[in-house]
Structure formats: C-alpha cells, structure tokens
Structure 1
Amino acid sequence: MASRPAEAAVLIAGAYAVDLVLTDLRGPVRAGAEVWADGLDMVPGGAFTLAMGLHRLGRRAVWAADFGTDLFSRAVLAAARQEGMEEAGFRHHPRPVRNVTVALSDAKDRAMIAHEDPVAARPPAELIDAFRPSVVMLPFLQYGPDTTDALKTAARHGTRVFMDCQDHPGHIGMDDVRETLGRVDVFAPNESEALRVTGAATVEEALALLCELVPTVVIKRGPAGAVAAANGHRAVQGSPAVPVVDTTGAGDCFNVGFVHRWIDGSPLEDCLAAGVACGAAAVTGPGSGNALGVSELPAWLTRLPH
C-alpha cells in the first residue's frame, strides 16, 4: 500500500453547479402555465456543497472541479475563496464552463432543470493517485471501466469510497453496477433512488438487497430521517421538525455530516445523527447556504429525536 500525506484529505470528484432557487411558489408548476415565486436566491451547489460542508466542519477537502470564463464559474470560485477552500484540485479553462440548475422549491419538494457545458473531467483514478486521500466521495452512481479503475486505485492506496446515487441511471440487475457497489465502502441513495436501483417495494427490502453488495448502506428519508446498516447492524435516526425553506442540497449536507463522523471510525448511530443534523439544518435556508460549521453541529445534535 502506498503512503499518503500526513494530513490526508477527503477527495471530492464532481462538477460545481450554480443553483437558482425559486421559493414560496404561488401555485403548482405545470407545463403551459406561469407560476410566480416570491423568493429568489443564487447559491453555489453541486459538488461545491460537499467540499464547502467538509471545510466548515474542519476537514481538509480537495475538490477536483473545472471552471471557465463564464459568470457562473466566477461566482462559485469567489464563494470557494470566501470560504477559504483549498484550490489544489481546480482546473481553469479559457472558455465557458457553465453548470446551472434552476430549482423550483416548496416546503414538500422541488422540481429541477439543469444545464451543463461538456468538459472532460480528470479520471478519478488519476486524482486518487495524485492526492492519496483517506476518503473519496463520488457524488453520483457511476460504473464502467473508468470507475472500476478508480476503485481499484482506491483499494491500492487504502482509500475508502463513499458513493451517492443522485438519481443517475443504473440498477443492481446490471453487472457493472453490481461490480461497482461491491467495491465501494458506503452507498447512500435516498429513499426513491434505493427503491429504483433495487426494484424493491419497501425501504427495508431495498436495504437488505443493497447490504448483500455494500458493507455500509445508508438510505436518506428526508423529513423521516435516515436508516442504515453495516455488517449486520441496523441503525435508525429521525429528523427534527424544522421550518423548510428549500430542500436543495440537503442530501449533500447529510453526506457531509455522515462522512465527518465516519472518517473517525465513529459508531453508525453517530454517523447517522451527524448526517441528519446537517441535512435538517440545510433545509432551513436556500441551497447549501445553511451548511453547519463545526461549532454549530453540537447544538443541532441535541435537537434530534431519540
């Protein structure tokens, strides 16, 4: 196994987004109709949320991201620099690299429309070789030769892998998906994603099916909290009742809280509690703007139902 730097980082491999968040909708969103929103915010999102959230919790995060000459790239770069985030993984291109998501959000859910300028990302295996992280966070379900190479490289360096789903296509009936999930350490879909990926009828069935492939499975359940299982041990954590402004970025903030505790080898219950606390705090503001800092997390943990 290759050695890693003394201050090994969490590596986040994923694109930025700018979230244009429209809240307080005056009616339902439907084709052919105009609906007014009383709230509007423009906030950095995408993998920015993971890197920023970990940074606020005092973790060293290396974010591999691409930026261009467009105003959206400039806005996210400015936000990253204001947060004091590390820039070792940034690449700059002499053309626009726009990544924009319009989120139409109410207290129950959101509709999203996204645009992303194509750019060839650095292969994850190359990034793991370069930065030797202790943990790599993959923001969505990915599979195929490049992903397999990355996971083999992670295993060679002793790097643990946390993978979200983000509603990307794929299911456990596919050989490539099963191979990928068999190589990650944590898989963390939300409830609807878990049901789709497994074809299960219930969360409990989905959890059982995924646990046949992945050492640790986490299923995020929004206002119902989260459930997880690892090595035959099951844990459940409810969520506190909070005023919901926008659910955009809440799942990513949950991931940040979970990984923050998981890095240290904390019990599954503590990892879930930190995840739910960070996710609950996130929905009280637009986008990821209310991501918790390290000094704020303890107070939010006391608000969790037991």
Structure 2
Amino acid sequence: MGTGPAGRVDAASSDGRQYGTEVLVVGAYYADLVFHGLSRPVRPGTEVFARGFDILPGGAFTSAMAMRRLGHDVVWSTDFGTDVFSEQVLAATRAEGLDDTGFRFHPAPVRSVTAALSSPEDRAMVSYQDPVAQYPLAAVLHEHRARLVILPQLFYGPDVHAALRVAHELGTKVFMDCQDVPCTLETPTVRQILAQVDIFAPNAEEALRLTRAPTLNAAIDILAGLVDTVVVKRGGWGAIAVRDGQRCEIAAVPVDVVDTTAAGDCFNVGFLHAHLAGHPLRDCLATAVACGAAATSALGSSAAPDLTELPQWLARVSHARQV
C-alpha cells in the first residue's frame, strides 16, 4: 500500500498494479428537469401537460452515485460553477458521500440543464451547457490512476485518442457509453478510439446510427470486431452482450415504469459492478438489466439500487440466453 494523489491510498490489483482509485467517472453534471406522465407525444405547435415534475441530479452524477451506492471507491471529474444548478447537484453529491477530489470550481455559472420529457416507453430531451474549458482527459487519467474509467458518451478526436493510449499504459480499463453523439465510424478518429475501448455500451438506435448497418445484428458484429466487449441496451426488449465470440441475450424485467431518464446509466453501472467482481458475461448482463429496471421505478436516478436492494432486483431477472 502507498499514498496516491491528494492523499488517496493506493491499492494493488490482482495484476500487481497500483491504482489511486477504483473507478474514475469523467463527464459533466446535468440538472434534469423531468416532466413525466405525458398524456401524448410532444409535437411542434402543441402544448402537453405532464402529471408530474421534478428537478433531479443527472448526467455523469448518475454513474458516480450509482457506483458509490454499490460500494465502489469513486472519483468524479467534473466542473461546477456559481449557478443554482451546480449548487443543487453539489448538495446531492454530498448527501451520497461522493469523493470531491475530482471537482473543479469556476467563479462563474456552469449551467448544465436537461429538460426530459418522459413516457413509459422512452424519453425526449432538450439540453443546454455553458461553455467551460475542458480539463485534458490524459491529465485526469494520470492524476487519479484508476482501475476503471467511465466515459458517459462517445468522446472522439486526436486528444481523446492520445488519452486512451495513456489509459492503457496506466492499466486503466476504459468503459464508454455512446449517447446521441453526431458521428459514425467514418468520422475521423472514431474507429481508432473504439479500438482502444474495453467495453462499449450503445443502445440499439445508437449502434445502428454509428455503424450505418442495415440490422442490429450486423451493427453488433461490426462493433464486436472493434471492441473487446459490446453491450447493447434495447429498452423493453432487454439487452445483448458480446465478448470473444460469446453472445448473451436477456429479456427486460417487467416493471411499472415511472421514468426512464437514468435507466441507461444505471444499466451501465450494474454491468460494471459485476465485471469488476470478475463475474462471467451472462451475470454482468443480468446485473445490468436489474439495475436499469430498478432505475425506471422512480424519477431520475433516485431508485438506483444499493447493495442491500440489488438482490431483490436480480431475483426478478430471467437467465441470460447464450447464443
């Protein structure tokens, strides 16, 4: 054992490497303005009333908080300002006991806001972010020396490509979500970056758009040729995971859906929780589905399960089918 950055305690992994923290989350906070219980879809020129409304912490907060609830050592690298939304999310991080050594504070507003229009089937979102100078990803990776880094969207560009090389030099495993990022595999550096990602977790629509494949199976095959582990979220149709030629499928958990806003992030956290424990692919996928389902049972990420709640959700998951 030794002392890492900011007085953190280093822990040796099974491969003998020394890490400063177990999990590093890199990404912006969002204050989610959640309108739920919509009577009909929202279309231009119309007004729709929701049955409920709340303001909840979201964005990368969800990944950091949900990993913390499942007992992991987490550092969240993000930016806050002087605005009311920063203040609200900061209060939530303190209530959850999140480590603040990765926070950067700015003497001006850093507003990150999403209006989420949530229905039981899906949600639409409108977002806004104040511009803020990005702290280099490579520097964050060097500073915290994590066992695993969670990137909550598909970051790309030469700086990201270089930073992921740093991650692998440090022995840091890279998890990347996709989100609604306007790029394809033909966008410069995207293909090269995915080749450096250990686990990639788009939803079905994102996988199709990114690959421009005619079918989801074709998209999964393309992505599996680039990334060690591909996990595809399919909402009410469950999920698919592929690793080393092994493919698992699992059905969704029946649940009375309140809000789907944080389901994808909680799904990711469930997969990573089991992955870090060394569980096989089918168990990682089952844990992912359990955590994603739990998140839909309340607004935002408020129902992300902790270690005492996870077993009851896992008991509701069907066995993964290996194909």
TM, length-normalised to structure 2: 0.92
Tell me the alpha carbon deviations over residues 119-141 of structure 1, each in whole angstroms, 9 at most, x when there is no partner: 11211110110000000011111
Partner Cα distance (1:67, 1:228) in 2: 35
Report the equivalent of 2:7: none
Structure 2 residue 27 is the aligned partner of structure 1 residue 14: yes
Partner Cα distance (1:16, 1:201) in 2: 34
3-state SS in 2 of match to 1:37? coil
3-state SS in 1 of match to 2:189? helix
Tell me which amino acid in the other structure corresponds to 2:103.
F
Report the equivalent of 1:24: 37
Q: Is the 8 A contact 1:53 1:292 kept in 2?
A: yes
Partner Cα distance (1:273, 1:43) in 2: 27
Tell me which amino acid in the other structure corresponds to 1:46.
G
3-state SS in 1 of match to 2:160? helix
Report the equivalent of 1:132: 145
Aligned residues: 304
RMSD: 1.2
Partner Cα distance (1:234, 1:101) in 2: 35
Q: Is the 8 A contact 1:217 1:228 kept in 2?
A: yes
Report the equivalent of 2:257: 244
Report the equivalent of 1:296: 309
Partner Cα distance (1:65, 1:109) in 2: 27
Tell me which amino acid in the other structure corresponds to 1:35.
V
Residue 264 of structure 1 and its aligned partner are, at CA, apart by: 2.1
Partner Cα distance (2:59, 2:52) in 1: 21
Residue 8 of structure 1 and its aligned partner are, at CA, apart by: 2.8
1:69 to 68, 78, 82: 82
Report the equivalent of 2:63: 50
Equivalence map 1:207-226=2 (5 Å): 207-226=220-239
Partner Cα distance (1:69, 1:237) in 2: 44
Report the equivalent of 1:261: 274
3-state SS in 2 of match to 1:25? coil
Report the equivalent of 1:157: 170
Partner Cα distance (1:28, 1:170) in 2: 27
Q: Is the 8 A contact 2:24 2:77 kept in 1?
A: yes
3-state SS in 2 of match to 1:40? strand
Report the equivalent of 2:292: 279
Structure 2 residue 186 is the aligned partner of structure 1 residue 180: no
3-state SS in 1 of match to 2:33? strand
Tell me which amino acid in the other structure corresponds to 1:159.
T
Report the equivalent of 2:128: 115
3-state SS in 2 of match to 1:9? strand
Tell me which amino acid in the other structure corresponds to 1:279.
G
Of the structure 1 ranges 139-148 and 54-63, higher mean CA displacement relative to structure 2 is found in: 139-148
Partner Cα distance (2:155, 2:100) in 1: 25
Tell me which amino acid in the other structure corresponds to 1:12.
V
Tell me the alpha carbon deviations over residues 220-269 of structure 1, each in whole angstroms, 9 at most, x when there is no partner: 00111110100111111111110111110110000111111111221111
Report the equivalent of 1:104: 117
Of the structure 1 ranges 72-81 and 25-34, higher mean CA displacement relative to structure 2 is found in: 25-34
Instruction: Specify every segment of 5 or more residues in structure 2 that has no aligned partner in the other structure, as ranges.
Output: 5-9, 12-19
Tell me which amino acid in the other structure corresponds to 1:37.
A
Report the equivalent of 2:17: none
Report the equivalent of 2:241: 228
Tell me the alpha carbon deviations over residues 157-197 of structure 1, each in whole angstroms, 9 at most, x when there is no partner: 10000000011122122341110011110110000000111
Tell me which amino acid in the other structure corresponds to 2:232.
I
Q: Is the 8 A contact 1:25 1:36 kept in 2?
A: yes
Tell me the alpha carbon deviations over residues 261-288 of structure 1, each in whole angstroms, 9 at most, x when there is no partner: 1112211111111111000010111111
TM, length-normalised to structure 1: 0.97
Tell me which amino acid in the other structure corresponds to 1:272.
L
Q: Is the 8 A contact 1:44 1:79 kept in 2?
A: yes
Q: Is the 8 A contact 1:141 1:169 kept in 2?
A: no
Q: Is the 8 A contact 1:250 1:282 kept in 2?
A: yes
Residue 55 of structure 1 and its aligned partner are, at CA, apart by: 0.3
Report the equivalent of 1:82: 95
Residue 106 of structure 1 and its aligned partner are, at CA, apart by: 1.1
3-state SS in 1 of match to 2:288? helix
Identity, % of aligned positions: 53
